[in-house]
Structure 1
């Protein structure tokens, strides 16, 4: 699988900056869900959920990711990209960034997940704290759009969110882009 990255970023904003009429019907409940997306997807997939690891390794974050994580220029992260599927149909493209300085203590185990969902670990850890969540509409040419839609036909726009988490006080960033086949009715 090829990975394409643009440095042109979408306009990530807090939910309060979006008007309900901007967000497609059926997408708001995914974007605003405060709990574990993994658990919610498993419920919606009715036992047919699985995760596909696309890539994991060292990388440099995008500029807005770097700032959100409080990193210096030139810093590196462990980058993990996965698809969350119902059967063989991808519903979510997720990109997790863990800064080097966060890979101490409890967070070290996050590099060993392979095809285990990150949400299972985060939401079961009593030290986990959820920070800021931002939403964006992504279009062709935006960073992450091409990687998220690789292999999908005629996708014009995606909605996504990204959340800053703290595990034992150490930051990590999770981007979740909702793909066209995700159910739009509440599970």
Structure 2
């Protein structure tokens, strides 16, 4: 079993969603973090206006150390990295970073490299064979790489953010999805337990 904790200056400390450390998560945030359903669907349902996906970046790159371990990749292996924002009425609610190893983009999974602005969640959860293998949560601080990418659009930078990452098997291939929850979602939009 993979250890739930990874320590790196550029990465947050990851923990199992049901671990003792999760008690430090503010309750409204935890409601979002632990929800097993499609985040795309939850944000869409909670948005009282136009929902859309904005692609910030897509290209080949290297996974972070703990991501390599989780994906069982060799050091410095190449992945297709896709960074997007989930928007409600043009305002970012979630920053998402997906890693798709080269070996995962074969067969039916090749379609994931051509999503453009189509939500990844719609594709993953539309396939009944998609499996969620592992779910971890973390507190993001200003020294972490993903923190700066997530808050780039904000006028005021928060002291911290919370996020999660999920290891999926899609068409039998590993895909890692990181989701950072922004203050606009946590503070203004009802949590999953209140959504129809």
Q: Same fold (TM over 0.5)?
A: yes
State yes or no: 1:17 paired with 2:19. yes
Q: CA deviation at 1:185?
A: 2.9
Query: What is the count of residue pairs matched by the alignment?
Result: 182
The whole-number CA distance in structure 2 between the counterparts of 1:130 and 1:149 is: 27
Counterpart contact for 2:141–2:159, Cα < 8 Å: yes
**1:27 alignment counterpart:** 29
The whole-number CA distance in structure 2 between the counterparts of 1:103 and 1:7 is: 30
Post-superposition CA distance 1:127-166 (Å, at most 9, x none): 2111100000011001211111112122210000000000
Counterpart contact for 1:10–1:143, Cα < 8 Å: no
TM-score by length of 2: 0.88
- Where 1:120 maps in the other structure, the secondary structure is helix
CA RMSD of superposed structures (Å): 1.5
The whole-number CA distance in structure 1 between the counterparts of 2:22 and 2:12 is: 19
**1:40 alignment counterpart:** 42
- Where 2:142 maps in the other structure, the secondary structure is coil
- Where 1:77 maps in the other structure, the secondary structure is strand
State yes or no: 1:185 paired with 2:193. no
Q: Residue 58 of structure 1 is aligned with which of 57, 60, 74?
A: 60
Counterpart contact for 1:85–1:92, Cα < 8 Å: yes
The whole-number CA distance in structure 1 between the counterparts of 2:125 and 2:48 is: 20
Q: CA deviation at 1:7?
A: 5.7
Poorly superposed stretches of 4+, deviation over 3 Å: 18-21
The whole-number CA distance in structure 1 between the counterparts of 2:36 and 2:17 is: 12
Post-superposition CA distance 1:1-53 (Å, at most 9, x none): xxxxx962110000222456511131111000001000011000034211100
- Where 2:15 maps in the other structure, the secondary structure is coil
The whole-number CA distance in structure 2 between the counterparts of 1:20 and 1:172 is: 24
> Which aligned pairs between 1:162-181 and structure 2 lie closer than 5 A?
162-181=165-184
**2:98 alignment counterpart:** 96
**1:106 alignment counterpart:** 108
**1:76 alignment counterpart:** 78
TM-score by length of 1: 0.92
